[in-house]
Chain A
Amino acid sequence: MSSRAGGLPGWAFLPAALGLLLIGLPAAGILLAVPWSQLPALLTSEASLAALGLSLRTSVTATALAVVLGVPLALILAWSRLPGARVIRTVVLLPLVLPPVVSGLALLTTFGRRGLLGEYLSVLGVDIAFSTTAVVLAQAFVAMPFLVLSVEGAARAAGRRHEVIAATLGAGPTTVLRRVTIPLLTPALGSGIALAFARCLGEFGATLTFAGSLQGVTRTLPLEIYLQRETDPQAAVALSLLLILLAAVLVLLTQRVRPGAGAR
């Protein structure tokens, strides 16, 4: 199979196979540990359903927030000649590489009761920390970089040629954004949304630090898993299976739209 002209050398398949095993074996391992017969009961317990519902609600909201704020940010980073673009991009991508617990701490020191903004907000009677809002903020904080990266890359690669033509046809900037830019970026936007949503579902560290772990309020699926791990390992494994499946479906979705099959 490596005999094609310009093909890879045969030995390259060895590290590739080991790499696949490194990720694939644990995934298979947890599948083997799943208590299949008790699965329905474990997944439909009150705590599980509460966690799952909360996770889905907050993840959808946080992803929507990331789209509304992240798409304009990505387009500005891709197309405008802002003087501090590099600094802005660094700030926006920071959550990708920060330990989530640090992200949570950063949010807490800003929105917490004695935080930068939290102090003013609490005067107004708004308390964000340790609420469902905090969960959404934490998820949006860690997930937005995925969306920005995906959309910015696509926008930069596509250039603005269609936009220029649309403008000469009489379309104002808002019309161009709505009828040209967004439709053309749909593939990238789709994969960005899927990745961001998956990251929201998996959020743990920042949520725990900033929002705590109150059942039905801030205890999302990953937090529930962590908690169950101590008391009921089988339930933890069952819930993990659910998260793995959700993640796999989402990642699969991002692969359906290949760059070559994209609009531009």
Chain B
Amino acid sequence: MTPALTIRAAVDDRDVRVSIEVPRGRVVALLGANGAGKSTVLGLAAGLVRPSSGTVLIGDREVAGGRWVPPHRRHISLLAQDPLLLPHLDVLANVAFGPRATGAGRERSQQIARRQLEEVGAGHLADRRPRELSGGQQQRVALARALAPRPQLVLLDEPLAALDVQAASELRQVLRTAVRSTGRTAVVVTHDLLDVLALADDVVVLDRGRVAEQGATTHLLTRPRTDFAARFAGVNLLLGTRLDEDAVRLDGGVVMHGLPDGPGRVGKANVVRIIPFAKWTTIGSAPRRPPRSARAQSRCTAPNPGAARATRSGCV
């Protein structure tokens, strides 16, 4: 099946060059430090950024590259950090805006809007003005508004970042139901591990405008290969050279033993993963395009009861 979104494009003036696919019905988390290119990727999808080369496809329809499809014809909704409800319209009219703009009649649009508000648990707010709502309520309405035109893809740009802990956790639940359980396709940019665990099927890690790492959420969070993903998941990554099947000499001279993640070659660069709260230290390959380290070809995993103990001679 064709992916819901395919981006194979470069934006030269921001030094972004990525190849990303978002499968239909899945939620992909886009992670990365500030300036890694997350907004540019969202912009490429939504039609707010033009690629200097390459192509963007929504389903099998090309929207950038050979031809250009403007944002309003892409069927991609954007939910930003700020709800950005239209202050001159009431909640119902805000949510009905999309259906109305795409040609549905007044009655029909309001009907869609009402149903969408119910879905996110904001049905009782329909007659209010945006300024009468709390931040969490506003974002709930903004979510309903983003979903109302039945977009092929929903872009969530740090949707919970501006909310307090309580409101964020409520809305996270709403998002999980509204996006993940209904088989909608979404890309979510976040800096919060909880969002990734609650929402994302897959994770793409961006680093300085390139895809540094991508994979299924659980796999990537337990077996990170980049500094960023490791820090994000709360895992320590150490760099070294493979000594033999289950040992790596770290750059400082310390030797660490662990379970091999896969076959490896002695003398090649490797990473050692220490998961502080788990029973495993794993030894595996460094990322294909490591941010600050050498290349590696092998993987291995080793048991590490409790914390990893390392000595100069190399025992755990």
Residues of A within 8 A of B (CB): 161-162, 164-173, 175-176, 179-180, 183-184, 186, 263-264
Contacts and interface: CB of A to CB of B under 8 A. Distances in A.
B77 interface: yes
Contacts of A165: 78, 80, 84
Given A175-B101, A184-B87, A264-B87, A161 B80 contact: yes
A155 to B, nearest CB: 16
Contacts of B307: none
Interface string B60-92: 000000000011111111101010101110000
Contact of B97 (A161, A171, A184, A263): A171
B102 interface: yes
Nearest to A164: B48
A136 to B, nearest CB: 31
B88 A263 contact: yes
Chain B: interface residue count, which band?
20 to 34
B87 A170 contact: no
Contacts of A164: 48, 71, 78
Identify the 4 closest CB pairs spanning chains A and B, nearest first.
Answer: A169-B98, A171-B101, A170-B102, A167-B71
Contact of A171 (B48, B72, B82, B84): B72
A168 B70 CA distance: 9
A165 B78 CA distance: 6
Given A161-B80, A167-B71, A172 B88 contact: no
A164 B71 CA distance: 8
A175 to B, nearest CB: 5
Contacts of B87: 184, 263-264
Contacts of B102: 169-170
A170 B149 contact: yes
A168 B86 contact: no
Contacts of B146: 168-169
Contacts of B97: 166, 169, 171, 179
A151 B43 CA distance: 27
A263 B85 CA distance: 11
B72 A167 contact: yes
Given A168-B72, A180-B86, 18 more contacts: A162-B84, A164-B48, A168-B71, A168-B74, A168-B155, A169-B77, A169-B149, A170-B75, A170-B149, A171-B97, A171-B98, A171-B101, A172-B101, A183-B86, A184-B88, A186-B88, A263-B87, A263-B88
Contacts of A186: 88
B273 interface: no
Contacts of A175: 101
B145 interface: yes
Given A161-B82, A184-B88, A263-B87, A168 B101 contact: no
Contacts of A162: 84, 86
B46 A168 contact: yes
Contacts of A180: 86
B70 A167 contact: yes
Contacts of B155: 168
A164 B78 CA distance: 9
A182 to B, nearest CB: 10
Contacts of A161: 80, 82, 84
A166 B95 CA distance: 11
Contacts of B148: 169
Contacts of A171: 72, 97-98, 101
A166 B101 contact: yes
A106 B114 CA distance: 58
A237 B110 CA distance: 58
Contacts of A183: 86, 88
B100 to A, nearest CB: 8
B76 A168 contact: yes
Contacts of A179: 86, 97, 101
Interface string B127-164: 00000000000000000011011000001000000000
Contacts of A170: 72-73, 75, 98, 101-102, 149
Nearest to A172: B72
